[in-house]
């Protein structure tokens, strides 16, 4: 047996990085299904010591919430196909991720039906976020 393999529920075994395994188990326990099947990876950009980030590009067309307007700031229509919705998931150092951002989601009203606005990520907001 794979030492990194863990039973996620429903006979599904997952293995890999501890954070990814934890997220997959959480999704399985919440009854969300396997996100790898719903949102297949289109490509992966490995960690770069220059950008201090890594990136996974996923096709969100099969995601249950792909038509949800709250994803409007995150889901962009791909130029490859008019029906394909693509999301770039980026992780890395605070500096590396902030360098790639132009906007951030501002405070909401607390009402689910009202989307929090996307605001410009100014130098002041970058500094405030970085020092939290």
Domain that holds residue 86: 39-130
The whole-number pLDDT of residue 88 equals: 86
The whole-number pLDDT of residue 7 equals: 56
What pLDDT, in 10s, does the model give residues 9-68? 556 577 788 888 888 888 888 887 777 887 889 999 999 999 999 999 998 887 765 444
Q: Tokens representing 20?
A: 């990814």
What pLDDT, in 10s, does the model give residues 84-110? 788 888 999 999 999 988 998 888 766
Confidence of residue 112 (pLDDT cuts 50, 70, 90): low
Q: Same domain for 30 and 73?
A: no
Q: Same domain for 17 and 43?
A: no
Q: Same domain for 62 and 46?
A: yes
For 8, other C-beta atoms within 10 Å of its C-beta total 18
Q: Same domain for 43 and 97?
A: yes
Q: Same domain for 24 and 65?
A: no
What pLDDT, in 10s, does the model give residues 71-90? 444 444 444 445 678 888 89
Q: Same domain for 48 and 113?
A: yes
């Amino acid at each position: 047996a794979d030492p990194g393999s863990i039973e996620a529920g429903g006979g599904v075994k997952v293995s890999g990085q501890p954070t990814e395994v934890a997220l997959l188990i959480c999704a399985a326990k919440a009854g969300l299904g396997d996100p790898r099947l719903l949102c297949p990876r289109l490509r992966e950009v490995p960690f770069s010591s220059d950008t201090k980030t890594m990136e996974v590009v996923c096709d969100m067309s099969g995601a249950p919430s792909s038509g949800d307007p709250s994803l409007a700031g995150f889901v962009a229509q791909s130029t490859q196909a008019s029906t394909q919705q693509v999301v770039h998931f980026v992780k890395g150092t605070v500096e590396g991720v902030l360098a790639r951002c132009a906007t951030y989601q501002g405070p909401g009203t607390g009402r689910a039906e009202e989307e929090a606005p996307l605001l410009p990520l100014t130098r002041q907001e970058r500094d405030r976020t970085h020092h939290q």
